[in-house]
Amino acid sequence: MRYVYGVLFTLLVMTASAQDGGFKRPDIPGELMVDVGFNVWSSMPGALERKTWSSKSIALYYTKRKPLSGKLSFNYGVGLGLEKMSLGDSSTLISNRLVGSGTNQTLEPVLISPLSDTLAFSKNKLATTYLDIPVEFRFHPMGTEDGEGLFVGVGGIVGLRLNSHIKQKYDYQGETVRDKVSGKYNLNSFRYGYQVRFGFRGVHFFYKRFVSDVFKDSFQDGTSPVLTTVGINVTGF
């Protein structure tokens, strides 16, 4: 996530410098979209808990616009979608692991591990990065030539998981421990869903609902969560 923040900071500096006349903005056939918001699972498996304000979603998309008429356009792009889900302070996820031996060795699904009362996480987050391809049709009720003005957008999004890890922070025997463990965590390799956007070209609100399950297998309690994200977008860098 710190790399994304670095990109955002660089873009803001470049925009400010361009406004001061320091240099001209490169003339590229497209725009950069930045989605920032919160995410939620439809249900929390077992003893896992979600901290709303610590569960964040951010996406960086390079997009292009194809006008279809004076009021309708088709927008498409590619970029990175990053999801951070805060899992609470008492339980966490364990990645897939091999159990057994010899020919009886099998891959055990993701587990939930309840921790002792003497150990609590001050940070416990599952972070996942996707390569996303968003597409949408935008309707401009007032008409548009270059995509300016009020619009309503409806479309879809597909993504490929690039990596995932859990980052934790806790106190143990008088010391502060910080762990970062990469793994698959039984997460699906692909995600797909739909999105709705509303606002102006430069600033608007978005709603994304991924109908694909977050995990490959359901948990023992039958839970199989799906992901929803909501937030605000800035476009035009």
Q: Which two tokens stand for residue 95?
A: 């990645």
CA–CA distances in Å: residue 76 to residues 62, 133, 171, 236 = 8, 7, 46, 15
* Each residue's pLDDT expressed in tens, for the chain with a length of 237 residues: 454 555 555 544 444 444 455 545 455 678 999 999 999 999 988 888 888 888 999 999 999 999 999 899 999 999 999 999 998 888 888 876 666 666 665 555 566 666 666 678 888 999 999 999 999 999 999 988 888 889 999 999 999 999 999 998 888 778 888 989 898 888 999 999 999 999 987 899 999 999 999 998 877 777 889 999 999 999 886
Domain range 2-6+32-235, CATH architecture? Beta Barrel (2.40)
* 3-state SS, one letter per residue, for 57-110: EEEEEEEEEEECCCCEEEEEEEEEEEEEEECCCCEEEECCEEECCHHHCEEECC
Gyration radius of the chain over CA positions: 21
pTM of the predicted protein model: 0.82
Residue ranges of the domains in the chain?
2-6+32-235
Side chain identity, residue 15: T
Cα-flanking dihedrals φ and ψ of residue 5, to 5°? -60, -35
Rounded Cα distance, 8 and 24, in Å: 18
